[in-house]
Amino acid sequence: MITTETVNVQDEKKSAFLGSLSSAFQGVESYTALRKSAWDTLSKFAIPGTKTEAWKYTRVGKVINQARKKSGGNTQINLPEIAIGGLRYVFVDGVFRADLSDELTWQGLNIRRTGESAENNLLGTLSNHNADWFEAVNAAFFNDGLVIDVDKHTHIDCPIHLVFFASEENTAAFSRNVISLQESSSLQVFTHYIGSQHSTFSSVVTEAFVAKNASLKIDKIQEGNEAAFHHVEWTKQERDSRFDITTVTLKSSWVRNDLNIRVAGENCHSSLTGAYLPSGKEHVDNHTMVDHMVPNCESDEKYKGIVRENATAVFNGKVFVRPDAQKTNAFQQNANIVLDDTATMFSKPELEIYADDVKCSHGSTTGQFDEEAVFYLRARGIGEVMARKLLVEAFLADVITTLSDERLQSYCTEKIQQLMHS
387-392 long-range contacts (CB < 8 A, ≥24 apart) are: 388/420, 389/417, 389/420, 389/421, 392/306, 392/337, 392/416, 392/420
What is the DSSP secondary structure assignment for residue 295, as one 8-state letter?
Answer: S
Length of the chain: 422
How many H helices and E strands in the chain?
7, 20
Torsion of CA 72, 19, 232, 107, to 10 degrees: -40
pLDDT in tens, 110-165: 999 987 766 677 899 999 888 899 999 999 999 899 999 999 999 998 899 999 99
Closest CA to 349 of 291, 263, 274, 287: 287
Question: Whole-prediction pTM value?
Answer: 0.93
Q: How far is CA 298 from CA 235, 241, 282, 335, 359, in A?
A: 15, 11, 33, 21, 9
Name the residue ranges covered by the structural domains of the chain: 31-40+70-369, 370-422
pLDDT in tens, 320-375: 999 999 999 999 999 999 989 999 999 999 999 999 999 999 999 998 877 777 66
pLDDT in tens, 22-55: 888 876 777 888 999 999 999 988 999 888 999 9
Dist CA 99 CA 96 (whole Å): 9
Q: Is the dihedral of CA 96, 97, 102, 103 positive or negative?
A: positive
Residue 1 has pLDDT above 90, yes or no: no
